[in-house]
Amino acid sequence: MTSVSIKDLSLNFGEVKVLKTLNLDIGDGEFLVLLGPSGCGKSTLLNCIAGLLDVSEGQIFIKGRNVTWEEPKDRGIGMVFQSYALYPQMTVEGNLAFGLKNARVPKDEIDRRIARAAEVLQIEPLLKRKPAQLSGGQRQRVAIGRALVRDVDVFLFDEPLSNLDAKLRAELRVEIKRLHHRLKNTMIYVTHDQIEALTLADRIAIMRNGIIQQLASPHEIYNKPVNLYVAGFMGSPGMNFLEGAFAPQGASELSFGVTRVPLERYPFVSDERPGKVIFGIRPEHVTCGPAAESEPFNTEVEIEVVEPMGADTLVWAILDGREFRFRVDGQSQLREGDRVRIGFDPAKASIFDAATELRL
Amino acid sequence: MAADRKPSQLFRNLNAKVAAIPMILTACVVFVGGTLWTITYSFTNSKLLPRETFVGLEQYERLWSSNKWLISIENLFIYGVLSLIFSLVIGFLLAALLDQKIRFENTFRTIFLYPFALSFIVTGLVWQWILNPDFGIQKVVRNLGWENFTFDPLYNAEIVIYGVLIAGLWQGTGLVMCLMLAGLRGIDEDIWKASRVDGIPKWKTYLLIVIPMMRPVFITTLVIIASGIVKLYDLIVAQTGGGPGIASEVPAKYVYDAMFLSQNLGQGFAGSTMMLLTVLIVLIPWAYLEFGGKKHG
Amino acid sequence: MVDLSAPTSAPLATAPSRTEAGPSGRKPRRSISRANIFLYGTLIVFALYYLLPLYVMIVTSLKGMPEIRMGNIFSPPMEITFEPWAKAWSTACTGLNCDGLSRGFWNSVQILIPSVVLSIAVASVNGYALANWRFKGADTFFTILIFGAFIPYQVMLYPIVILLREMGLYGSLTGLVLVHTVFGMPILTLLFRNYFTSMPEELFKAARVDGAGFWGIYFKIMLPMSLPIFVVAIILQVTGIWNDFLFGVIYTRPDLYPMTVQLNNIVNSVQGVKEYNVNMAATILTGLVPLTIYFISGKLFVRGIAAGAVKG
């Protein structure tokens, strides 16, 4: 059963097309993350779902009901904002109750819902305080609480953790995940942070210029990016991209410079075999040292720079005259200037048409 | 060492100190010195020239028993209170209307603010003309058929101050609107979104959420309007000349007249000291709220 | 024009539309809703109130006296005459002399230019010193200065008379220029100080490391980078000084009166027959300088008063 369904949705600001004929179905209880760089239209899409922006074309269904022309309050949604947007002169309790009072929900019902939200979010001791007396993390809990008390099916999060420092962000991330497990609501979550997206999402929609590039599980997005953009956007440090060409006698080998990579194990998704391709392999899919010998492809590289990052170490090397990054264990003793053997399984790689940038 | 350091302290940053001399002179000699001088001489019986014959509170007693001064204070009070209320209400209303993503926002804003560019003299003279009973609004309405229509605030001692108020509001509300609009634009967009998701009507959002959030803007605006009101002088001179009779006198004019027309310096000093006192009554609580509070918070 | 050709670009392989019956696309809005009528109605009523005086001024100034006596002040002139404008400019009487507003205009120009230049020069250097070269006691003087902006002028009027008299400047244009410089100082210093404080401090530090001194940094780095704030300050000062009445009437002699004083004397002079058309022409003429500045500068004017007011 779909919870939120977006059909042929477009939004124009004057001449500028912000969203271009979007289609998206979000299942009941699904956690969907809209991911993309700033200006890709992800927040705009969320605002359209919320009813805060009028769409130019298309329809929005929530719980099978056409809500395209409905006011936000009637759509059965709750929303959490980046800047928390708490009403500063009201107590936490007042913030939670304000919308309900206005909707003339009976007093005891309001109290019941606030008590439940406060319990779920562990903000009981804060109820009598004002937002100014709370920390960033506490404020965001209250903001989530305000969505919670509305007793709705769909939660919308607009970059809720962006204003918090790294440590708090990690804590609240887990908190939100727990919340989702407990409430089993549909949640739509906008972020530009890929870690948040990968950790939270059931499915991720990567957006660029008002178009959804790929809609898939985090695993698939990470391992099988549909195009060069998605491949480059996901992962940090980013995927290695090497320009190359298929060997003349068919597509069983890929060559760049003097290096040849066997492609027998690569799962092609397309029958196209263009002249120029881009070969991508993630730094963490590269093995190094004696273990590399057993990989379908291996070669020797010279190490240029070593960046120890604690848990692991990023190594910058030269492969056939090109820059090549790979990741090794944090305890590794590699040094600049060393020559080491590296290898990888082409099954884990991605190959893109250099012209269309689509996965092959 | 210690001996070396003393002079170097004085000459360190010498250029900056030289550059600050005009400020120091202005602050100390004109603002502090002038104020203290005036306060001191308000206790003398200075007439045409300042004299050092101290007479205690005599000038103040005369001041507060002078009909003209009492009328001045009453006028200032009426004008002040009404002008504060109306300019805040109208200014906020206009700002809120302009903030509705309307068309021609710039045109409307330009129209509402242009009187602020004009002097009080110009303002006073225009409204003197419009409110002229023989040619202005009263005449026009009478010509339309209401023979007994009366609207002659500038010739009626009872309501003359309201005639001045109309002109004053015309000149000054644009500024208030501008400040309020800046305040409204400073409100986090997400607050509006949150209140829409909560289903709170717009007027209620303004009243219960936005206006309380704009408290600092309101206080600052209040102080600006109030300190302007106390200085009210040019408008009266141009629009009514204090008349009819002495019905639209204000303290600033009383002070000017005493000092420069009727050679009664002592009265002028006493009057201006009272004006200073009025301003301090407004200013000190504000300064306490604005700057005193921050140190603790 | 009728387009007879077939659609030039049929979309390639259009996916079948997923939309269903029911509300779709932009929510229909009536442009004439009750909310809009209230919104625009209120704005238009207020706009009329604000525009009325300007309209009346212009209309009246273009009528002859007989028409004014006959008609109503809102009706447009039947016969346009520029006589009142000419008279207001060159022959209207103040009771003392009969050379119209022109004398006041030139007096105002002579007051305006040195006052604006001097006040801005002093305040900008001062604001720069306060922002970047803080010295002990600077904040104390600055606080006094800012509080001074709220003190009613009346308290300081007479002491300044004495000061100017001691310097031999009482009744001269130079004296008035000094007065404008003094009273413009709080707001301008604040304006410049805040602006210079908001500039990246690294810039100032880099210049000092490069060996530039107080004046070097001011002229070579701060000045070229702060053109907008200078424009704001000029707008603020030109309108403020042009519109001044009180200082003009107190610190100058009748033959040096600025335009506002001259205007008031012409209009409110008790002698002779009232010539309302001449009065209104004179009023417009006096308002013309600040109005021109206002309409040309637009957003900067707003910024100027907001900067001057909010932080004042």
pTM score, whole prediction:
0.86
Distances in whole angstroms, Cα of residue A343 to Cα of each of A247, A337, C37, C52: 20, 18, 73, 84
Asked if residue B138 has pLDDT above 70, the reply is yes
Residue with tokens 């990016």: A225
ipTM value: 0.86
Cβ pair C27:A7 closer than 8 A: no
Query: Cβ of B49 under 8 Å from any chain A Cβ?
Result: no
Report pLDDT digits (tens) over C82-122: 888 888 888 888 777 788 888 899 999 999 999 999 999 99
Q: Which residues of C touch A57 (CB under 8 A)?
A: 24-26
Please give the Cα distance from B148 to B133 (Å, whole number).
Answer: 12
- Choosing among B101, B191, B197, which should be mutated to test the A contact, i.e. which has the most A CBs within 10 A? B197
Measured between CA atoms, how close is C18 to chain B, in angstroms? Answer: 27
CB-based burial, A111-145: b 16+ in 10 Å, e otherwise: eebbeebbebbebeebbeebbeebeebbbbbbbbb
Mean of pLDDT values over B174-183: 90
Q: Is A344 exposed, middle or buried (0-12, 13-18, 19+ CB in 10 A)?
A: buried
Q: What percent of chain A has pLDDT over 90?
A: 61
Q: What percent of chain C has pLDDT over 90?
A: 32
Asked if residue A273 has pLDDT above 90, the reply is no
Which strands form A259-262's sheet, in the order they lie side by side?
A: A259-262, A253-256, A240-246, A277-281, A350-353
Work out the pLDDT band at A87, boundaries 50, 70, 90.
very high
Nearest-by-CA chain B residue for A90:
B209
So what's the pLDDT on residue C33?
82
Report pLDDT digits (tens) over C252-287: 988 889 999 999 988 887 777 788 888 899 999 999
So what's the pLDDT on residue A251?
66
Cβ pair B170:C128 closer than 8 A: no
Start-to-end CA distance of chain B, whole Å, equals 41
Please give the Cα distance from C206 to A36 (Å, whole number).
Answer: 38
Q: Which residues of C touch B17 (CB under 8 A)?
A: 129, 135
> Which secondary-structure segment (H or E) carries B63?
helix B58-65
Angle ∠(C61,C65,C68) on CA atoms, nearest 5? 75
Report pLDDT digits (tens) over C44-77: 999 999 999 999 999 999 988 888 888 788 888 8
Angle between helices C100-132 and C138-148 (to 10 degrees): 150
CB neighbours of B279 closer than 8 A, spacing ≥ 6? B226, B227, B230, C150, C151, C152
Measured between CA atoms, how close is C33 to chain A, in angstroms? Answer: 17
Work out the pLDDT band at A280, boundaries 50, 70, 90.
very high
Angle ∠(B36,B40,B46) on CA atoms, nearest 5? 130
Q: Which among C18, C26, C28 has the least Cβ separation from residue A8?
A: C18
Work out the pLDDT band at C4, boundaries 50, 70, 90.
very low
Any bridge partners for residue A351, and if so which? A279
Cβ pair C27:A68 closer than 8 A: yes
Q: Which among A77, A85, A99 has the least Cβ separation from residue B191?
A: A85
Query: Cβ of B16 under 8 Å from any chain C Cβ?
Result: yes
Work out the pLDDT band at A78, boundaries 50, 70, 90.
very high
Work out the pLDDT band at B7, boundaries 50, 70, 90.
low
Nearest-by-CA chain B residue for C155:
B272
Asked if residue C37 has pLDDT above 80, the reply is yes
- Return the partners of chain B (3 or more C-beta pairs < 8 Å): A, C
DSSP A358: B
Task: State the virtual CA torsion across C132, C138, C141, C142 in degrees, nearest 10.
Answer: 30
Asked if residue B237 has pLDDT above 50, the reply is yes
So what's the pLDDT on residue C8?
36
So what's the pLDDT on residue C82?
87
Q: Which residues of C touch A55 (CB under 8 A)?
A: 25-26
Work out the pLDDT band at B293, boundaries 50, 70, 90.
low
Cβ pair A57:C20 closer than 8 A: no
Mean of pLDDT values over A130-134: 92
* Alpha carbon of residue C203 to chain centroid: 32
CATH class of A240-353: mainly beta
What residue ranges define each of the domains in chain C, with the CATH number in brackets? 110-256+289-310 (1.10.3720.10)
Start-to-end CA distance of chain C, whole Å, equals 60
Q: Which two tokens stand for residue A250?
A: 């068919």
Query: Cβ of A69 under 8 Å from any chain C Cβ?
Result: yes
CB-based burial, A42-77: b 16+ in 10 Å, e otherwise: bbbbbbbbbbbbebbbbbbbbbeebbbbbebbebbb
So what's the pLDDT on residue B140?
85
So what's the pLDDT on residue A249?
67
Domain assignments of chain A as residue spans, ordered by start: 2-227, 240-353
* Numbered residues of chain A with Cβ closer than 8 Å to any chain B Cβ: 47, 50-52, 71-74, 77-79, 81-89, 98-99, 102-103, 146, 150, 158
Distances in whole angstroms, Cα of residue C142 to Cα of each of B79, B219, C185, C222: 32, 22, 10, 20
- Return the partners of chain C (3 or more C-beta pairs < 8 Å): A, B
Examine residue B201 and say whether the peptide bond preceding it is cis (omega within 30 degrees of 0): no
- In C4-23, the residues whose Cβ lies within 8 Å of chain A are 17-20, 22-23
Measured between CA atoms, how close is A24 to chain C, in angstroms? Answer: 11
Cβ pair C24:A57 closer than 8 A: yes
So what's the pLDDT on residue B257?
92
CATH number for the domain running over A2-227: 3.40.50.300
The mean-pLDDT minimum among A102-106, A249-253, B55-59 falls in: A249-253
Query: Cβ of A56 under 8 Å from any chain C Cβ?
Result: yes
Please give the Cα distance from B209 to C194 (Å, whole number).
Answer: 30
Distances in whole angstroms, Cα of residue A29 to Cα of each of A196, A202, C53: 18, 10, 64
- In B208-227, the residues whose Cβ lies within 8 Å of chain C are 217, 220, 223-224, 227
Contact B121, C56 (CB under 8 A): no
CB neighbours of A342 closer than 8 A, spacing ≥ 6? A286, A287, A288, A292, A298, A299, A300, A301, A317, A319, A326
Q: Which among A54, A58, A69 has the least Cβ separation from residue C19?
A: A58
Checking DSSP bridges between strand A154-158 and strand A186-191, what pairing results, if any? Answer: parallel
Q: Which two tokens stand for residue A314?
A: 């990023």
Greater confidence (B34 vs B3) lies with B34
Mean of pLDDT values over A79-93: 92
Please give the Cα distance from C216 to C203 (Å, whole number).
Answer: 13
Distances in whole angstroms, Cα of residue C253 to Cα of each of A37, B256, C96, C109, C176: 68, 16, 12, 16, 11
Q: What percent of chain C has pLDDT over 70?
A: 90
Report pLDDT digits (tens) over B32-73: 999 999 999 999 988 888 888 888 888 899 999 999 999 999
Mean of pLDDT values over A271-275: 84
Measured between CA atoms, how close is B212 to chain A, in angstroms? Answer: 7
Asked if residue C12 has pLDDT above 70, the reply is no
Q: Which residues of C touch B112 (CB under 8 A)?
A: 46-47, 50
Interface contacts (A, C; CB < 8 Å): 36
Q: If we measure between CA atoms, which residue out of C289, C273, C276, C282 comes closest to residue C91?
A: C282
Cβ pair A73:B198 closer than 8 A: yes
Q: What percent of chain A has pLDDT over 70?
A: 99
Contact A341, A256 (CB under 8 A): no
Please give the Cα distance from B22 to B86 (Å, whole number).
Answer: 39
Q: Which two tokens stand for residue A244?
A: 């190359």
Contact A157, B193 (CB under 8 A): no
Mean pLDDT score of chain A: 90
So what's the pLDDT on residue C310?
45
Distances in whole angstroms, Cα of residue B190 to Cα of each of A138, A164, A343: 18, 17, 50
Mean of pLDDT values over C29-42: 83
So what's the pLDDT on residue B282?
80
Report pLDDT digits (tens) over A145-160: 999 999 898 999 999 9
One DSSP character per residue, B172-203 reads HHHHHHHHHHHHHHTS-HHHHHHHHHTT--HH
Asked if residue A304 has pLDDT above 70, the reply is yes
Contact B45, B53 (CB under 8 A): yes
Q: What percent of chain B has pLDDT over 70?
A: 94
The mean-pLDDT minimum among A107-116, A218-227, C148-157, C177-186 falls in: C148-157
Report pLDDT digits (tens) over B249-279: 999 999 999 999 988 899 999 999 999 998 8
So what's the pLDDT on residue C6?
37
Q: Which residues of B touch C69 (CB under 8 A)?
A: 135
Angle between helices C173-198 and C299-310 (to 10 degrees): 90
Q: Which residues of C touch A68 (CB under 8 A)?
A: 22-25, 27
So what's the pLDDT on residue B148?
83
Which amino acid, A270?
S
Interface contacts (B, C; CB < 8 Å): 262
Start-to-end CA distance of chain A, whole Å, equals 33
Query: Cβ of A58 under 8 Å from any chain C Cβ?
Result: yes
Please give the Cα distance from A354 to A234 (Å, whole number).
Answer: 19
Mean pLDDT score of chain B: 87
Measured between CA atoms, how close is B282 to chain C, in angstroms? Answer: 10
Q: Which two tokens stand for residue B257?
A: 């007249």
